[in-house]
Structure 1
Amino acid sequence: MAERKFRGRQKIEIKKIEKKAARDVAFSKRRAGMFSKASELATLCGVDVGVVAFSPAGRPYTFGYPDANVVFDRFLGIVRAEGGSGGPAGTTASHQADILRQLSQRCSQMMDLLSAGREKRAVLEERLNSESEDPEDRAWPEDLEGLGLERLARMVRGFEEQRAKARLRVLQIQEQGGSSAGPSAMAVIPMRAAGFGAPGGSGPWIN
C-alpha cells in the first residue's frame, strides 16, 4: 500500500476575490480582525491608533483609540505642520488631509444622528411617564400598598393609553424618515413584565 504524502500547510494566494458575495464576507471578517489587532496594539503598547476601511460598496468603517476623531485630528495637525509646501509630497499630504477631514465629518454626522435618536426616545419616555388623564396620577407613588383598586385601575388605564400613543408616535416618526430613533424606541415594557399583571388576567389588567 502506497504511503500517503501530505503537502503540509499551503499558502493561500493573495488576490482579489471575484465573487461579490464571497468578497463581502471576506471584507467583513478581515475588517473585524484588523480592528481587533488595532485594539490589541493600543492596549499592549499604550498608543493611539486610527484605522479607516472602505467596504466594496464604498461605506467607510473607522476604529480609533481612544477615539477616532481624536486620532484623526491629531494626524491632521501633524500633516498641516509638515506638509503644504506646494511640491508633490505637499500635494499628497493635502489630499490625505482632505480625505481624513471628510471621514471625520461623516463620523460626526453619524454621532449627531445617534444623539438625535436618543433625544427622541427620551421625549417619548418623558411623555409616557408624565402624561395621565388624572393629574393626581402623574406622580407615580413609591408605595402601592396603600392605594385602592380604583386608583390602581386608573393608573393602569393611563399607562396603557400613553403606551399606545407612544407606539403610534414612533411609527409616525419612522414613516417620516426619522427612523434614527431605532428599534429600541419600540421596546415598551409589557404590563405583566413590569409587575402589573393580575394573576387571573381579568378586569383592567391588560397585557
Structure 2
Amino acid sequence: MKKVESYKARRTTFYKRKAGIFKKMNEIIAECGVEASFLVFPESGYPRTFAHPSMEDAVDRVKCSLGHEPSGKDDASIGSLVEAHKKRKNEELAKKLCDLHEELKMAEEKEKKMVEKKKIKELKNEWPNTLNEGVNKDELKRVHQAFVELSYSLSGKALQRLGKNGDGSSSALAERGYCDGGEAGAGEQT
C-alpha cells in the first residue's frame, strides 16, 4: 500500500471506505467477542472514532500500558457496564424487530391466502355451479320451470318487437312448440 498523495483524493478514499471499515470492526467484535477501537485524525481536523465498548476504556487501557493512572477508574467500569447494557438492549430490540417483521410477513401471506379462498368460495357459490352439485329432482324441476317461464316471457317480447302476432299471446308460442305448464310439446325443446 502506498499513501494517496492528493489531500482531496485521500479524503474521498477515506469517506468511501469508512462504512466498510466500521462494518469490519463490528464483525470482528461480534465474532471474536473482543474490545476494539479505531481512531483516525484526518487533515480536516475532525477525528473519526469507533470503539467497543467505549473510547474512554480504550484510552484508559493505553494510559495504563504507558504507566499512567487511568482517570476515573470507577467511572470507566460503570461506563463499560452501561455500554454493555445498551448493547444488550439494542440486540434485544433488533431481535424483536426481526421477529415482528417475520410475523408481519406471515400475517400478510395468511391474509392473501384467505382472500384467495374467499374468491374461490364466491365462485363456487354462483348458481350455475350449484345446479351441478347436489341438487335434488324437485329443485331441478323448479329451476327448469323458471327457465321455461323466462323463455316464454322473452319470446313474447321478441315477437312483439318483431311485429309478429303483436298481442304476444301464447298461440304464437304454441306455434313454436311450447305448451302450457312449461312442458315442451312433441318436439321436446329445451
More contact order relative to length (CA 8 Å, sep ≥ 6): 1
Instruction: Name the structure with the higher helix share.
Output: 2
| TM-score (structure 2 length as normaliser) | 0.32
Structure index of larger Rg: 2
